Structure 1
Amino acid sequence: MPDPVAGNTKVVAVPALDETMMAMDVVDTIRHADRLVERELGGAERQQRLRERLREIYKSQGIEVSDSVLDQGITALEEKRFAYTPKGEGWKRSLATAWATRSRWGRFALAGLGVLLVGWGVFHFTVVAPRQREAAAVARELNTELPRTLRAEYDRVLAGTQDAQPRADAARLLAEGEAAARAGNLTEARARRTALNDLAARLAAAYSVRIVNRPGEPSAIWRVPASNPRARNYYLIVEAVDRDGRPVEVQVTSEEDGITARVSRWGLHVPEAEFERVRRDKLANGIIEQPVIGEKPAGSLATRWTVQTTGGAILSW
């Protein structure tokens, strides 16, 4: 009967709940009988034949189903009304699935995390930490230690000599070393510090240069230079000793091959006349009357010679 307030209203008949549930059961029966669906829905009179087949199925189970219920089930199946279509994969579904299956993969994830943590710890303590300590040590040396030690070695040089040339050399080495330290060039800064240290040590050294005069050892030799086979170079074999007669190593460069070494004994290049004088002196009685031919005082880099010499030297003979 029309509602007096709303006016004319179309009334829709709602199937009873039992019929709806029965229709859903019909759909489920058809869905789980794949062969039945394939056979009965394949012909032109498919609905009628399917209805009869379904009636036989339910009758065998002692269930009476009306044609309207069977029609509702067949229609619902075709329209996929009661079918469940899963939603597509998404991050929420993936997260939920991962949480639900955590008992399966959790152990492996924890083990993998443990391996990563151990690996990171080993890498940190064996690679990262040593590199950090080394970098900190280099920075400390460049910013603090090298400037201080460069200045200290420079002051040693100034305190050890009044000669202009060594002081100028020290000033140059100091400036180069400080510039290298500011630029982060550790190798060059250290090299300048070593050079200053060597300069200070050479200035502080005091020794005498004497001709070697011991049985079985030569006191003088001559050599034929490779560049002029008709010439001869004459050398006195000398050694540096301190005031107590102990050997002193000094820096000597060979004029034959340019090699520089710290030695206490070397060959000093002299004129032929000096060579002959020493040779005759030793032949006379086996003793060289005046073996000391040079003095190197503290505070100077130069040796004061009492014989004529070019200053050239050799390191082997």
Structure 2
Amino acid sequence: MADTATRAPARPGPAAPAPALDETMLAMDVVDTLRHAERLVERELQGDARRVALKQRLQEIYAGQGIEVPDRILDQGVAALEQHRFTYTPTPPSFRRSLATLWVTRARWGRAAGIALVALLLAGGGWWFGVHLPAERTRIAEQQELREGLPRALQAEHDRVLAATTLPEPRDRAARLLAEGRAAAGAGALTDARARLASLQELQRDLAREYQVRIVSRPGEQSGVWRVPNANPRARNFYLIVEAIGRDGRPVEVPVTSEEDGTTARVTKWGLHVPEAEFERVRQEKLRTGLIGDPVVGQKRAGELETRWSIPVTGGAILKW
């Protein structure tokens, strides 16, 4: 039996060395040359017969530049072009691509975005501190006023009215205003509650006020006028021009309602509607002496709302003449 020699397993041959960097660069240049000659590529890369002509044309191009390119490099370049090597293919659109693009281009848009962000923060801060917080403080203050301040103020003004008069009419009016003001405050109607408080304050001032009503009797000023009413052109209304004077000799503003248009205003001087006989008496007296002997025609006392008249009056008045 013949001896058999044991053989060692065959070893793999050495790996093919990687192409030199300059050859790779040269192949890339060949591809770039082909890519920039698009019409030449379309015309020449259509068959093996024309590959040869293409290679020859490329050799002529490089020879004109003083560059000698081996055939295998030209073959590699043509093959690389056909295989789309050394060609950048953009990443398809996606959310991740958009984020990456934003990050890469941040130097271009980051400054503008930063300025816009700062402006937005400043605007937001201005609104927060300049509009929102003051409005919130006002709202809280109004709620506090409705819960505590207005009810106390209403009660205080009501008590001042009661202390100023013993007459039932102003006392009843004060009680009504107090009830309405409390109800408005309880319902959150700040405007209505304040209006009732103002009415109570005005009522108290009217009760505390004390003055005389006198006929105006100064040189250059009228003491009386007459009017033809619109409702009755055949009639005449007669008015004495009067003024309210306080205990200190100064004019006092009093609420007067015009019977001509229903307007109410606080004035110191107005036309008091009187009967024709009273108007004529005052007129004749002023014509005789140039003066009015007793110009006081009414007295408003503290604690009362109505004026006590010493002459006949109709209860009407005018604000303009």
- Do the two structures share a fold, i.e. TM-score over 0.5? yes
Residues 157-186 of structure 1: per-residue CA shift (max 9 Å, x gap): 222222222222223323333343444444
Aligned 1:1-317 pairs, distance under 5 A: 17-18=16-17, 31-34=31-34, 37-43=41-47, 85-283=89-287, 285-317=289-321
TM-score by length of 2: 0.71
SS of 1:235's partner is strand
CA contact (8 A) 1:151 1:174 kept: yes
SS of 1:301's partner is coil
Q: Gapped runs of 5+ residues in structure 2?
A: 1-11, 62-66
Equivalent pairs: percent with the same residue? 56
CA contact (8 A) 1:24 1:73 kept: no
Q: Distance in 2 between matches of 1:291 and 1:231?
A: 27
Equivalent AA in structure 2 for residue 167 of structure 1 = R
Q: Distance in 1 between matches of 2:318 and 2:46?
A: 115
In the TM superposition, residue 81 of structure 1 has moved relative to its aligned partner by 8.1
In the TM superposition, residue 252 of structure 1 has moved relative to its aligned partner by 0.9
> Could you say if the C-alpha distance between residues 103 and 285 of structure 1 is closer, same or farther in structure 2, counting changes exceeding 3 Å?
closer
Q: Distance in 2 between matches of 1:284 and 1:125?
A: 74
SS of 1:177's partner is helix
In the TM superposition, residue 201 of structure 1 has moved relative to its aligned partner by 0.9
Residues 54-105 of structure 1: per-residue CA shift (max 9 Å, x gap): 9999xx958685xxxx6x9977865668876553233333333433443444
Residues 200-255 of structure 1: per-residue CA shift (max 9 Å, x gap): 11111122223333444443443332332322222233222233433222111121
SS of 1:316's partner is coil
> Could you say if the C-alpha distance between residues 18 and 32 of structure 1 is closer, same or farther in structure 2, counting changes exceeding 3 Å?
farther
CA contact (8 A) 1:24 1:82 kept: no
Q: Which shifted more, 140-149 or 162-171?
A: 140-149
Q: Distance in 1 between matches of 2:250 and 2:234?
A: 39
Q: Distance in 2 between matches of 1:307 and 1:55?
A: 134
Q: Distance in 1 between matches of 2:13 and 2:200?
A: 109
In the TM superposition, residue 269 of structure 1 has moved relative to its aligned partner by 1.6
TM-score by length of 1: 0.72
> Could you say if the C-alpha distance between residues 306 and 44 of structure 1 is closer, same or farther in structure 2, counting changes exceeding 3 Å?
same
Q: Distance in 1 between matches of 2:53 and 2:14?
A: 24
In the TM superposition, residue 123 of structure 1 has moved relative to its aligned partner by 4.2
In the TM superposition, residue 141 of structure 1 has moved relative to its aligned partner by 3.9
CA contact (8 A) 1:177 1:193 kept: yes
Q: Distance in 2 between matches of 1:75 and 1:125?
A: 70
In the TM superposition, residue 298 of structure 1 has moved relative to its aligned partner by 1.6
Residues 282-311 of structure 1: per-residue CA shift (max 9 Å, x gap): 455445444333222222212222222211
